[in-house]
Structure 1
Amino acid sequence: MAVRLHYSATRSLALSPDEIAVARGLVAAHNAAFPFEAELLTLSHPGDGALHGTTTLPAQDPFATLLGLAHWCRALTEVRRALPGTSWQVGVDGDPVPWDDEVGFGWPEQRDPALLALLEQGRTVS
């Protein structure tokens, strides 16, 4: 069963060409570093101050799904921070992904280096 990550951002002012380039550059950098065989992040053609996208999380194993989600949460955090004044909606199959002003999108477990290492280790064992 595929797990999907949905994201959108809106604001009253249109995104500038420079902002669009920065957002696309961040997404490209995170796509290049994505360590799984799965769909990559895409951004819709931003117009009138909005952008959105969706991606399927890796499904090779549960560890890959969780590690992939952590990766994309870091990516969307950087994009959000690069686009001031935007209002964001990020969710996994209809459930919202929490936002924290200090650390960004995701859950505390996704930022725990020890847990991430265990998940990575679990992938190599299975």
Structure 2
Amino acid sequence: MSVSLYYSAHRATPLTETESASVARAVAAHRASFPYEDEESLYLYDQDADEPESIINGSTKMPFNPGRLMPVIAHVLDAVTELRRAIPGAEWRVHMDDLDVAWDEVEGYSLPGMRDADLIAELEAAHEGY
């Protein structure tokens, strides 16, 4: 069974050209800096013409390797944080299956432990036995 991180933004007005360019730059930068070639990174769906208020929709499947889980979560949530900051006035929803990821004005999107080096090392060590 796989777990995915989902992200979406809704607003009555479509993205401006400037916002679209900011989104494209952020997506390109985060994909280029993603640490794992064989894992899924930030992925935005094509815009649905039937839902004009839905301006951003995407998801990322989480890795099965527990040692990669936290770095992938951190990388993708950092990207979604950058997207949110580039698109004012939108209503965002970010969640990992049934778990909502809270927004913090200073930190952006984050989950407990996602940058904890000891936890990441422990998860990597646990995976070595597989």
TM-score range, shorter chain: 0.7 to 0.9
Map of 1:71 onto structure 2: 75
Letter of the structure 2 residue corresponding to residue 56 of structure 1: K
How many residue pairs end up in the alignment? Answer: 122
Identify the residue that residue 6 of structure 2 maps to in structure 1: 6
- Whichever residue aligns with residue 80 of structure 1, its letter is R
Counterpart amino acid of residue 33 in structure 2 = A
* Alignment TM-score, normalising by the size of structure 2: 0.81
**Structure 1: runs of 5+ lacking an equivalent:** none
Output the CA distance in 1 between the equivalents of 2:26 and 2:10.
Answer: 18
Q: Could you state the TM-score of these two structures normalised by the residue count of structure 1?
A: 0.83
1:48-67 alignment runs, 5 A limit: 48-49=52-53, 50-59=55-64, 61-67=65-71
Displacement of 1:101 in angstroms is: 0.9
For 2:17 and 2:118, locate their aligned partners in 1 and report how far apart those are by CA, in whole Å: 38
Aligned-pair identity in percent equals: 36
Structure 2, gaps ≥5 residues long: none
Return the index of the structure with the highest Cα Rg. Answer: 2
In 2 relative to 1, CA 18–65 (structure 1 residues): closer, same or farther, beyond 3 Å?
Answer: same
Runs (4+) of structure 1 moved beyond 2 Å?
Answer: 44-49, 107-111, 120-126
Letter in 1 for 2:79: A
Please report how far the alpha carbon of residue 22 of structure 1 lies from its aligned counterpart in structure 2 after TM superposition.
Answer: 0.9
1:91 aligns with 2:95: yes
Cα RMSD between the aligned structures? 2.1
Mapped to 2, the partners of 1:22 and 1:3 lie a distance apart of 28
CA contact (8 A) 2:41 2:76 kept: no
Task: State the one-letter code of the partner of 2:46.
Answer: H
Please give the alpha-carbon distance, in whole angstroms, between the structure 1 residues aligned to 2:7 and 2:23.
13
- CA distance, structure 2, for counterparts of residue 35 and residue 107 of structure 1: 19
